[in-house]
Amino acid sequence: MWDSETESLGGRDYGNGAHVPAKHGVKTDGFEQRGQSWFVATDVPSDLLVHIGEVNFHLHKYPLISRCGRLSRIIYDNHEGEVNKINLNDLPGGAESFELAAKFCYGIAVDLTASNISGLRCAAEYLEMTEDLEEGNLIFKTEAFLSYVVLSSWRDSIIVLKSCEKLSPWAENLQIVRRCSESIAWKACANPKGIRWNYTGRPSKVSSPKWNDLKDSSPSRAIQVPPDWWFEDVSILRIDHFVRVITAIKVKGMRFELVGAAIIQYASKWLPGLIKDAGGEPMLDDFSNGNICRESSGGSSSGSGGGSGSWKGGLHLIVAGNKEEPDTIKAKDQRMIIESLISIIPPQKDSVSCSFLLRLLRMANKLKVAHALVNELEKRVGMQFEQATLSDLLIPSYNKSETTYDVDLVQRLLEHFLVQEQTECASSPNRAYLDKNMFEESQRGGASSAKMRVARLVDSYLTEIARDRNLSLTKFHVLAEALPESARTCDDGLYRAIDSYLKAHPTLSEHERKRLCRVMDCQKLSIDACMHAAQNERLPLRVVVQVLFSEQVKISNAISNNTLKDNTAGESQFQPMVTTRKTLLEGTPQSFQEGWSTAKKDINTLKFELETVKTKYVELQNEMESLQRQFDKMVPKQKQHSSSAWTSGWKKLSRLAKMSNVDGQDDGSDQPVAELTRKTPRRWRNSIS
């Protein structure tokens, strides 16, 4: 369908060449080359020398002026005399294209192929070989071949577009680039199931098969065409032509993830060092290897079977014959490639991976890409910052900064991420509710949010850059506090970063160390981190006390929770907690151990004194009882009798009062009980007197 390089058009067999009968007086058997010069094989001596670069053509005037309007004007419009030599150094296509055009003028059959058609079309336009001079001139024939043969073939469209790289601006002005780009885009967006495609992965010496051979021997009928079949072919194009193709593909509705994968494929080919090769192409693991060539197990029936086992194919071998070494690309070319790729990355999130964006950002900073494009790339990284890895964030500082890594860049990326999160939260109330209850969800074992993943990434990054002695405390502090408190459910990573910074900066004052440790919440440290912090002499003493106190609270809470469980479970869980507490207290610094032992001695002394006072109190109480008994024995007996009479009298009076109250209630008297109780004592006092 798209692969026939030779089509019959209006009775003209373009595959065998555009043959034009000789209508001039010079009979020739062809052209002969002698060193850097071409001669016409004829007995008529030449009367015109055409000089193109280092190549000379010894030709005749009449065959050329009869079909080339430009040469006719140069020869006949010159008033300085007869012209026998012409310089055409600016002819598009060079000596190769002029050779074909000259043969066409002499009536020699010319083979039109995808490799020479673009140069020949531009040369015909330059020489003004129009229909006004002769019907069926070279412009008409090359245009017909482009429109009806090249643009109907995927492979020929790629080859022609590749050959246009040396024909600017002629190829652009003649719309060859635009037409080939749209043809490629249309074929790339077509349904792969309906493609009857030939393999581009074949050596350049093997010409395209005839259409009849393609119908019978093409194994693509039984092969499922992968969605990335066009990646490898378009990746051989120059960056400006690649941008034209990708732009046309995006307009036609190609899936954005496929467009992003094609951009990654192109970057891996033309930007050395951007993609880390580890036995493959990790950036394209979601797709196939990107090569349009898919040889069947049976192989093709061509005569080049010797190289089919080791040669992996690729259209660039057809076009150029040899692959250009990426190391020869200059910095300005790489800068232009990066700027062009940034401009065509699809705007959708996850169209390309965050790792690819960060590597592209690294090279953009290194090559001093335009600030506006770098800012746009930073925003793209912020959209999917939670997908980044530590190795991708370790971007060297290419400016005059004193730090090893570009900390300001990571700070900007984090700010873009937070702005993006706030925008999404504002547009989605449900998302805001999830962020509000982030800590509770994490405790219930829910899926970690993007902020939590970014928090772990930032903590790892802080740990890595903390070893830099030129990193200021302010930069470390600002980056550590950039995320909200709810983003961290555990501060172990932050403690590790703080410890690394203290180790690399031993000259910090006590105030600076306290300021550094304020970014850490001691209550969010794990038991292992607390044990390490308890014996970390680099931490301020106040922080160590906070760590010990928070650990004591945790141990007390754990013990109280264990008491509510079964005895068996309680014993099995209480014993490790006691051991942990003992280990924690014994693991304090030496200065803290001395203070703690002194306090324990004071406590033991107070306990001993308290026990001594208690003992003396008991002894005094026993002595008092003994003296009381001796005093009772020494009292006179008459006092004992009188006291006993008073005692017995009062007992009798109390019994009489009770009896009178009972009798009053039994008789049904209406007097209240309070009045009886008031009168009765009065009679008792009279009787006693």
Using CB atoms within 10 Å of the CB of residue 369, give its burial: 0 to 12 exposed, 13 to 18 middle, 19+ buried: buried
Q: How confident is the model at residue 478 (pLDDT cuts 50, 70, 90)?
A: very high
Tell me the per-residue pLDDT of 222-251, one tens digit each, with 9 for 90 and over: 567 788 889 999 999 999 999 999 999 999
Strands 31-34 and 48-52: unpaired
Tell me the per-residue pLDDT of 259-279, one tens digit each, with 9 for 90 and over: 999 999 999 999 887 765 433
> Cα(300)–Cα(214) distance, rounded to whole angstroms?
11
Tell me the per-residue pLDDT of 131-163, one tens digit each, with 9 for 90 and over: 988 888 999 999 999 999 999 999 999 999 999
Confidence (pLDDT) at 635: 67
- Contact status, residue 234 vs residue 262, Cβ threshold 8 Å: yes
> Cα(655)–Cα(356) distance, rounded to whole angstroms?
107
Question: What is the rounded average pLDDT of the residues 15-24?
Answer: 46
Of 273-287, 347-361, 487-501, minimum mean pLDDT range = 273-287
> Cα(264)–Cα(262) distance, rounded to whole angstroms?
5
Of 5-14, 80-89, 172-181, 343-352, minimum mean pLDDT range = 5-14
Confidence (pLDDT) at 565: 59
Of 219-223, 366-370, 465-469, minimum mean pLDDT range = 219-223
Confidence (pLDDT) at 343: 94
Q: How confident is the model at residue 197 (pLDDT cuts 50, 70, 90)?
A: low
Confidence (pLDDT) at 295: 31
Q: How confident is the model at residue 644 (pLDDT cuts 50, 70, 90)?
A: low
Confidence (pLDDT) at 651: 56
Q: What percent of the chain has pLDDT over 70?
A: 66
Answer whether residue 296 shows pLDDT above 80: no
φ, ψ dihedrals at 364, nearest 5°: -65, -40
Confidence (pLDDT) at 117: 95
- Contact status, residue 59 vs residue 48, Cβ threshold 8 Å: yes
Strands 31-34 and 8-9: unpaired
Answer whether residue 400 shows pLDDT above 80: no
SS3 33: strand
What is the pTM (predicted TM-score) of this model?
0.67
- Contact status, residue 227 vs residue 192, Cβ threshold 8 Å: yes
Q: How confident is the model at residue 358 (pLDDT cuts 50, 70, 90)?
A: very high
Confidence (pLDDT) at 546: 81
Residue type, 292: I
Can you read off the two tokens belonging to residue 640?
Answer: 């004992």
Alpha helices in 289-445 (DSSP H): 315-319, 331-344, 354-366, 371-383, 390-393, 407-427, 429-436, 438-443
- pLDDT, greater one: 31 or 206: 31
> Cα(419)–Cα(381) distance, rounded to whole angstroms?
12
Tell me the per-residue pLDDT of 492-545, one tens digit each, with 9 for 90 and over: 999 999 999 999 999 989 899 989 888 888 888 888 888 888 888 888 888 888
Answer whether residue 386 shows pLDDT above 60: yes
Answer whether residue 323 shows pLDDT above 60: no
> Cα(1)–Cα(427) distance, rounded to whole angstroms?
49
Residue among 515, 563, 508, 561 at smallest CA distance from 538:
508
Tell me the per-residue pLDDT of 82-134, one tens digit each, with 9 for 90 and over: 778 899 999 999 999 999 999 999 888 899 999 999 999 999 999 999 998 88
- Contact status, residue 378 vs residue 371, Cβ threshold 8 Å: no
Answer whether residue 303 shows pLDDT above 50: no
Answer whether residue 445 shows pLDDT above 70: no
- pLDDT, greater one: 426 or 574: 426
